[in-house]
Structure 1
Amino acid sequence: MKKEEVPQDKGNLSNINMKELVYATDEKGNYTTALSTGWEPKTIALSNSIDEISERIAVAKEQVENNERSPIYYFMEVSRMDLSILSSYVGMWQWRVKRDFKPENFKGLSDKVLQKYADAFDISINELKNFKTN
């Protein structure tokens, strides 16, 4: 897109008076940078994505409250991770991490394993062990 055509729609960044750096072409066809306050399709997609993440976090919280999942699952969602990412962060097989989503397995985890999870979520072991859903 040409530099003068860079969208200046009201976006997520306009609320905090910031602009996004984007690439565009100048009058000679060379790539250059330009500032944009937002682009409506991107704003809609981002908003939809944030809504979906919020819904997944709420479901995870409810599952922990109902003793269907362990706090590890909730913090994975809050941290915007998936099983693959969390598995690589803690250095364990995916099947092992998935097993730790079960409350009965979570209760038997050693502090060493809990520390790996706590480090991945940037929280303390105490916060992980004593997670309150309220």
Structure 2
Amino acid sequence: MKKSEVPQDSSNIESTNMRELCYATDDKGNYTTALSSGWEPKTIALSNSIEEIKERTEAARQQVINNEASPIVYFMELNKMDVGILAGYVGMWQWRIKRHFKPSVFAGLSDKVLKKYADAFLITTEQLKKFKG
């Protein structure tokens, strides 16, 4: 794409006063960089992704309220993590983390284990323990 054709559509990036770096060709056909404020297909895809994340976070919150899941599930979704990513942060096996999703198991976790989760979620242990949705 030519430098003059780099998309400048309204997007979420534009509202943050940021621009995305793109590669384009100049008048002589040489590759150069150009700044873009957005591109409609990408904006749509990002908006859909953000909406899906919000829905999953709300579903996790409802599971905590209904005592179907521990707060770990909610904070994992809120922080855009999956079990594999969380396992890396807390240094535990994935099967163990999944076990901690059960409210009854979560209630018996030691402060040491809860601190690992709290640190991964950038919250305090108390916030994690007391979260009720």
Whether TM-score is above 0.5 comes out as: yes
Deviation for aligned residue 1:19:
2.0
Residues of 1 paired with 2:111 and 2:28: CA distance? 62
Q: How many residues align?
A: 133
State the secondary structure of the residue aligned to 2:60: helix
The whole-number CA distance in structure 2 between the counterparts of 1:113 and 1:26 is 56
Classify the secondary structure of the residue corresponding to 2:68.
Answer: coil
Distance 2:108 2:95 in 1: 16
State TM-score, norm by structure 2.
0.95
Q: Is the 8 A contact 2:64 2:132 kept in 1?
A: no
Runs of 4+ in 1 over 3 A off after TM superposition: none
Could you say what the CA RMSD is over the residues aligned between the two structures, in angstroms? 1.1
Matching residue of 2:94: 94
The alignment status of 1:40 with 2:44, answered yes or no, reads no
The equivalent residue for 1:80 is: 80
TM-score by length of 1: 0.94
SS for the counterpart of 1:109 is coil
Q: Identity of counterpart residues, as a percentage?
A: 69
Matched, 1:130 2:130: yes
- Name the CA distance, whole Å, in 2 between partners of 1:17 and 1:106: 42
Q: Which residue of 2 aligns with 1:109?
A: 109
Residue matched to 1:50: 50
Question: Where in structure 2 are there 5+ consecutive unaligned residues?
Answer: none
Which whole-Å CA distance do the structure 1 matches of 2:38 and 2:98 have between them?
A: 39
State the alpha-carbon separation in 1 of the partners of residues 102 and 30 from structure 2.
55
Work out the CA distance in 2 between the residues paired with 1:58 and 1:120.
20
Runs of 5+ consecutive residues of structure 1 not aligned to the other structure: none
The CA deviation string for residues 102-134 of structure 1, in whole angstroms up to 9 with x for no partner, is: 00000010011001100100000000000131x
Is 1:68 aligned with 2:68?
yes
